[in-house]
Amino acid sequence: MPITLPNTGISGLVIMALLTSAELFAATPNELARSLSETRATLARTTRAAPYAPTETPLKYSPLYSPLRSSNPINIQWNKNGTPREIKGGILQTANTISANSLQTRSGKTTQNETTARDFLRINRFLLKIQNPDQEFALHQVQYDTLNSNTRLRFTQQYAGLEVWPAEIGVRLDAQGNVVMMNGIYAATPRHPLNVTPQISAEQARNQVMSSYPVDTQATQPVLIIYATVDQEPRLAWRFQVLARLDQRIMVVVDALSAKVLAEFNQIHGAAVTGSGQDLTGQVRTINVFEKEGRYVLNDTSKPMFAQYGLTEPDVNLGTILIYDAQHADAEIVQPSILSSTTNNNFLADGVSAAYNISEVYDYFLQKQERNSINGQGGSIIGIVRVGENYDNAFWNGSAMYFGDARPYAASSDVVGHELTHGVVEYSAGLVYEGQSGALNEAFADIFGEMTQTRTQGQPDWIIGGQELGVTIRSFTNPEAYDQPSTMSSYQTLPNTEDGDNGGVHINSGIINHAFYLLSVGLNDAIGTEAAAKIFYRALTQYLTRNSQFTDARLAAINAAHDLYGQNAIEAQKVAEAFDAVGLLADNPTTPSPTSFNPVSEAPDALLSACLTSTGDTKLCRYDTNLGDTEPVILSTSSIKPLKRVSIQGDGSMAVFINANDDLCFIEINNGQEACAGFDDVHSVTMSPDGNRYALTFYDNNYRITNQIVVIDLTTNEANKIFTIKAPALDGSEPTDTISGVDTLVFSSDSKTILFDAQNLIRTAEGETIGLWGIYSLNINSSKVLSVVKPTNGQDIGFPHLSKTSDNFITYDIYNTATDKLQVHTLNLNNGKDGLIAEYVGSYSFPTYNGDDSSIVYMMPDENALFGSLGYQLITQHIATDRLTPQGEPQSWLNNTGTPNLYRQGTFVGQLPVAAYFDLQTSVLRAWVTYADQLIQGDMKLVEIDSNGFWFQLLNAQPTGTVSEGVTGTLTNDILSIPRASITNADGNTSYWNITLQLHIKDGNIYFYMPNDSMQATE
């Protein structure tokens, strides 16, 4: 088939090969791999992997690894970073008598001692927390001990071709060649691939340091390394020596992402003082500054959150308002400087405005809403002024507020309040920035921007912008004056694209803004701004969820009013009246929950996982009692990446995995027939449940992960899709090109969405670049990327997996880098509810739902494991029907195995398209019906139930171009037939029904009657 492919280098050529073999996939893994290999053979490039060699051998029931039972107790001492400092006690690994030449290592020619030492390291890789010891440990020196005829092999550590410094281990062997001890200090392989692309050049790093030395001081050429001390996370860094004097050779390590000197820094205590300065409007403002060695910096440490944490100086993470100056640098590459002065009244006007207004916004939320900063827990607030050259925007990017230099944004108190409220929304409801949820996000930012300004100025002006900004942007009283609707009758349905304003988020927000205005002062007997703000704040923080729609906002505000003022309070009645006035009536259906679907089968769960063989290799193993397995059996010929989860087709027939040579391999689960494609640069892969789509990530030529996801559809003649992943903005701004790499991938049941974890390079206010991992989703059709679990400093978030009977639930883990503790979580994607399944000391869990979502299975360290074993056990935790909450105690399932993925064999159905859904919260049935050659969307309210059936009153009906997968009802001769309607309960469990309704007209109204016997359960 002809393929048009963009110029993507190696990855593009790989995908060309895969696409040309699409028609062969339905046959066998061997045919697919053979076609791929033949195509790849035409490419002029060196590969690490061996060429295609099909294997059609039966299942390999060779023994798994038997842990060593030493006659002497094994003693292990531990480093602070959780790696073994020393292992000793008897014979740890017997001498390898096989020819040393059978082992290929980076050190070239091997000896029997090196072969034995590497056997020891490979077999104990999980205990050592090293994914690939053969690649990560390089033989540095061999020392012979004449006192006891021992030999010590010293290994340095490396990662992605870079030295991990100052890491080193030693493996000691006795005179017979047995391993008797290992010791040293090194770094565990990172949970996620480490970013090894420097943001700071070697010259920049050296010049920065040398600027503090005399001009004639010499320095060596910087070398790029991974800097890993025992008490801190590994960092990409430049290492060099400064030759200061004859008696001084100073070793310097500079962070290659932030230019921070990692080896030393100086902490100087200072004091909070009061200063003043002229702001952008010409007013002299009293501001809180921080004095430090005779210099005054725009750091406000006067707030209660500073004392809350017992701080003595400004902190970028806690208790402080910090103002920085971008000095007109581009928003994406800005390295802001600290705004400071030698006096307490001579500051940049932009900085004074930002300091004053952010302080006012903080005070509003604390005093009026009892919220302590953006995150509600006293987290620091960062403002960066003078961003870009003639940059006409202000935005919140998830960690700081940026103010462009084209207008005096920092001087506009409602704009500052607006941007800071985007942060409050992120830390509370987390409203997704598209469609109605995105318009709610904008509306709440406008509302509390106006309320913070009202506190400062004494009364509202009901506009955003105005005199301070030099332009009015939006109006609460008359949204139409600024091209916004004020009621649902003028709601604008726009495409979810950049040109369509993400579905009209800045346009339709006018409806909610106007409702708030009416509630505050616009209705007869309105309740006032303070009461209205309390209601809307509680609705935001206690009721709304990430996908909430306008109707959900109405219900949330009414519930909030009931909470604050009582069930029969006038305030709640006025909330309903305000929303009625803008056309958001009580009968609008709320956001439908994603439907659930049936398990593949009712058979017991089966398992694919990593396990050790008798030779110390890690293979793919199967444990399927339905196929007669009484214990895990070795399934794959290839060795696998031990900490990469295999992807399994929805019907349990086929799996795809990455082998130890970074090759793409297919395997049939029942018979173990396996074939690999001959690639050498595949980092991760996932297969859609129907087996028709694949998503892959690749290493670049420098063996670094990339920010691209390649999607292949084997059912179409279209070219593959290559998505360059960018970090989604949280307030509608352009996505930022800060994603450095993508790791784990998993498809949704309908193959339209990919869930993945990725590293986002976030620049702190101090100019330091840190890589934080979070979870995102990619819509393949729209190319939209959304944040699912936001990156958080100090946490490594990742390894997501979807539930087996719904796309509405995921399980994932969070590793705390400070405590070395791991948490296994569950998450309802529709309402944001999170469940804590387990917490323990460890680095990996690879959690997964079982076949019917009744349990979570994860791996954890096995404290009772014998030395030399895999060191992990699989745990099962039963969960409630909400798919979130643990029930009962966790149970140990299997020892000496890891990276689990469960499956059941049978027919995979997945999500079913529906022609109607019933909303339990509002008792409204929304249906899509074909009538008179038109597609009609209609809402029907359940108004009466009698002994024979249900009465629905038609609320509205209008032509629409939207229908789910072409499934519709039909209206013929006053009989409405719905081929499949869904009802999803609060736990996210869906039932499906074929229903028939009879049309009636009473008192000029249209009703539909559904007899009890017309409801038939369906799949």
Contact between residue 438 and residue 502 where contact means Cβ atoms under 8 Å apart: yes
Amino acid in position 370: E
Amino acid in position 593: S
Q: Is the peptide bond before 214 cis (omega within 30 degrees of 0)?
A: no
Contact between residue 825 and residue 834 where contact means Cβ atoms under 8 Å apart: yes
SS (H, E, C) 906-918: CCCCCCCCCCEEE
What residues contact residue 809 under an 8 Å CB cut-off, 6+ apart?
802, 803, 826, 827, 828, 829, 849, 853, 883, 884, 988
Gap between the Cα atoms of 119 and 849, Å rounded: 34
Gap between the Cα atoms of 175 and 152, Å rounded: 11
Gap between the Cα atoms of 489 and 504, Å rounded: 15
Contact between residue 170 and residue 163 where contact means Cβ atoms under 8 Å apart: no
Among this protein's residues, is 506 annotated catalytic? Answer: yes
**φ, ψ of residue 544 in degrees (nearest 5):** -70, 150
Gap between the Cα atoms of 578 and 584, Å rounded: 9
Count the helices and strands in the chain (H runs, E runs): 15, 55
SS (H, E, C) 449-501: HHHHHHHHHCCCCCEEEECCCCEEEEECCCHHHHCCCCCHHHCCCCCCCCCCH
893: which 2 tokens? Answer: 């399932």
**φ, ψ of residue 876 in degrees (nearest 5):** -110, 135
Contact between residue 751 and residue 688 where contact means Cβ atoms under 8 Å apart: yes
Gap between the Cα atoms of 113 and 153, Å rounded: 8
799: which 2 tokens? Answer: 């390894």
Contact between residue 529 and residue 447 where contact means Cβ atoms under 8 Å apart: no
* Helical spans, DSSP H, in 340-434: 349-369, 413-427
428: which 2 tokens? Answer: 């509370």
136, 419, 426, 434: the active-site residue:
419
**φ, ψ of residue 654 in degrees (nearest 5):** -135, 150
Gap between the Cα atoms of 411 and 280, Å rounded: 6
Amino acid in position 154: R
192, 418, 506, 514: the active-site residue:
506
Residue 562, SS3 per DSSP: helix
262: which 2 tokens? Answer: 């990692």
Longest pairwise C-alpha distance within the chain: 107
Residue of 772, 890, 894 lying closest to 836 (CA atoms): 890
Among this protein's residues, is 419 annotated catalytic? Answer: yes
Task: Give the length of the chain.
Answer: 1019
Segment 573-579 long-range contacts (CB within 8 Å, at least 24 positions apart): 574/519, 574/523, 574/525, 574/526, 574/527, 575/519, 575/535, 577/518, 577/523, 578/515, 578/516, 578/518, 578/519, 578/522, 578/523, 579/515, 579/553, 579/554
Residue 260, SS3 per DSSP: coil
Helix H or strand E segment including 941: strand 934-946
Contact between residue 693 and residue 716 where contact means Cβ atoms under 8 Å apart: no
Residue of 512, 508, 473, 515 lying closest to 490 (CA atoms): 508
558: which 2 tokens? Answer: 């009414």
Enzyme catalytic residues: 419, 506
